[in-house]
Amino acid sequence: MSKSYRVGILGATGAVGTELLELLESRKFPLAELKLLASERSAGKALCFQGENILVEAVSDRSLANLDIVLASAGGSISKTWAGIAVDKGAVIIDNSSAFRMNPDVPLVVPEVNPQAAFTHKGIIANPNCTTILMSLAVWPLHQVKPVKRIVAATYQSASGAGAKAMEEVKIQTAAILEGKEPVAEVLPYPLAFNLFPHNSPLTASGYCEEEMKMVNETRKIFSSPDIRITATCVRVPVLRAHSEAINLEFETPFNPDDARDILRQAPGVKLVEDWEANYFPMPMDASGKDEVLVGRIRQDISHSCGLDLWLCGDQIRKGAALNAVQIAELLVSGKNLLK
């Protein structure tokens, strides 16, 4: 990466935006210029980068000019408004919202899984949903050895998936409950502290919520396997940061759990965490702030000879969002397949 690039972060003051800023610095992304972009409401705020304060600008035609890459994490409506303008001005958009994920002309990329797809872009590359990214890192290496026929997923999703305000709300609710007061829910529809509820995304006609259908449709697209049968149940849980998932996989033939462990030990972006004697497996506390998806409790499904169960935890803000986007940018500027 001998060249340096002009990069903009759209949604720079949000939870994912600030993580993007930290990752560009810690991973030493080759920057010629960095622009921090957000709404008019956030314009004028200062964020620290490499020891210096950078002022946040209001996103506009002018602020999007002369950029090579825009890392967008400001929500689907904002992406739909500004992505085309940024592309017309010569930038590549790596978008963290759901706005373009299922557009057949937009690649949906997890660099450890389908890096080659990034190079088919027409100006926009979509970052998958957090739960999809975390699951794909654990399932793809196994799928390469024995194709998966069916995936049954249950997710345990932290407050971070709803943003920084939701994380703060859980803290306030926790304090209120411990003081004997009624918890107030404003960001999420119900109190999450000491509670859990099915994911609050809109329900579809099938009875599945949109979050669950994202896992179904996005995984099929990333794997280029439209026939994989996938079902998911997504749940909000009172954890601040890092999502967890219980995954059941069905194969054509039995998959030895020890073979699965050997494969996942070597898989990029994955860390095997298992201590059977101590009953110690991945936990959100261990995954928070980590790049890797922690995978463990790999075992034979006793109800199906060709089934395999596993458990994973991954940082939703990091690999589930910001890190994946930065890795896509690194992939583009290196011009190389990261798996080679």
Annotated binding site for substrate: 157, 210, 236
Q: Exactly one of 130, 209, 234, 313 is catalytic; which is it?
A: 130
Binding residues for NADP(+): 13-16, 41-42, 160-161, 316
243 assigned to active site: yes
**Cα 313 → chain centroid:** 12
Residue 220 parent element (H or E) = helix 210-223
For residues 226 and 323, give the distance between their C-alpha atoms in angstroms, rounded to a whole number. Answer: 26
Closest CA to 157 of 280, 99, 240: 240
Residue 246 parent element (H or E) = strand 243-251
Q: Exactly one of 143, 199, 243, 313 is catalytic; which is it?
A: 243
Binding residues: 13-16, 41-42, 101, 157, 160-161, 210, 236, 316
Residue in the structure block whose two tokens are 């798996």: 339
48 assigned to active site: no
Q: State the Rg of the chain over Cα.
A: 20
For residues 21 and 257, give the distance between their C-alpha atoms in angstroms, rounded to a whole number. Answer: 39
Residue in the structure block whose two tokens are 């919202």: 97
For residues 301 and 309, give the distance between their C-alpha atoms in angstroms, rounded to a whole number. Answer: 6
The beta strands (E) that lie in 14-77 are given as 31-38, 46-49, 52-58, 69-72
Binding residues for phosphate: 101
Distances (CA, A) of 63 to 39, 48, 82, 196: 12, 19, 11, 41
Catalytic residues: 130, 243
